[in-house]
Structure 1
Amino acid sequence: MRYIRYMSIAIFAVALIAVALANRQMVELKLLPSEIAGWFSLAPRIELPLFAVIFGGILAGLLVGFIWEWMREYSQRAEAAKMAREKRKLERQVRRLKGEKHEGKDEVLALLDEAS
């Protein structure tokens, strides 16, 4: 099973390298369109290889997706934490009630009573 995982990682790495080598040409990225940049007399631009733009877009999409999912699942995590607190509270209450029930009894009889 481990070899299958390593093989799939190697295939993925080769595919990424192939994409990077095929898209080495430089592209210019502009923050604002030319018409709007003229209004502000500001035209921030940068030149990057195309594969960096592609991989950056993929990483940005993954990051946005992870954050979106984390925010969407907040209510489920809060509910799970509430249930865990309630469970711990009920377990403490059961231990306390068992201790009160067997108070003053012989230990062997208390253990047998618990087992049944």
Structure 2
Amino acid sequence: MRFIRLIFIALLALILVGVALANREMVTLSLFPAGFGQFLGGTWSLAVPLFVVIFGAFALGMLAGLLWEWMREANYRREARLRHDEVARLESEMGHLRERHAAPRDDVLAILDEPSNRRPAAARVPSHAGTTPAQLPAAR
């Protein structure tokens, strides 16, 4: 992939150098229409090679397109930022809830985890003759 990219850059450089060599004649760029610059005083024109005009126009077109797309997609960036903030808030809230309720318990698990001497007599498991009640494994 790197080799293909280098070939592409080399070809692009050759084409740009070829365009620059083919368009070396000088042209005059005027900021205002003929005669209007005289009212403002001075000469509002510049003599540059034609390839500078071509490359400058290309660069200005790219810059205008970039600016246009950046402004067009501003609402998508704003929406993404709002969604990102909402997700961060919800993740933070979920983390706080996990910390506060680190050991979620339901009523049955609470009864089983409670030591047998603290349970009321009706809640104790009766021992049948010759059998022992099932023991839960110790908490780790």
TM interval, shorter chain, is 0.7 to 0.9
> CA offset at residue 37 of structure 1?
3.1
Q: Which runs of 5+ in 2 are unaligned?
A: 106-140
1:102 aligns to 2:102 (yes or no): yes
| Mapped partners of 2:40, 2:102: distance in 1 | 81
Q: Could you report, residue by residue, the CA deviation over 1:66-97 in whole angstroms, capped at 9, with x for unpaired residues? A: 11111111111111111111001000111111
Query: Following superposition of structure 1 onto structure 2, how do residues 1-116 of structure 1 map, counting pairs within 5 Å?
Result: 1-102=1-102
Taking every aligned residue pair, what percent have the same amino acid on both sides? 40
Q: In 2, are the aligned partners of 1:30 and 1:46 still within 8 Å (CA)?
A: yes
Q: Name which one, 1 or 2, has greater alpha-carbon Rg.
A: 2
The count of aligned residue pairs is: 105
| Mapped partners of 1:40, 1:88: distance in 2 | 58
Amino acid across the alignment from 2:45: R
Q: Which runs of 5+ in 1 are unaligned?
A: 106-116
> What is the TM-score normalised by the length of structure 2?
0.69
Amino acid across the alignment from 1:33: P
Q: In 2, are the aligned partners of 1:32 and 1:43 still within 8 Å (CA)?
A: no
Assess, with a 3 A threshold, how the Cα gap between structure 1 residues 61 and 104 changes in structure 2: closer, same or farther.
closer
User: Is the partner of 1:24 in helix, strand or coil?
Assistant: coil
The equivalent residue for 1:111 is: none
User: Is the partner of 2:32 in helix, strand or coil?
Assistant: coil
| Mapped partners of 2:58, 2:101: distance in 1 | 62
Q: Relative contact order (alpha carbons < 8 A, sep ≥ 6): 1 or 2 greater?
A: 1
> CA offset at residue 51 of structure 1?
0.1
Runs of 4+ aligned residues of structure 1 deviating over 6 Å after TM superposition are: none
| Mapped partners of 1:40, 1:14: distance in 2 | 42
CA RMSD of aligned residues (A): 1.7
Q: Which has the higher helix share?
A: 1
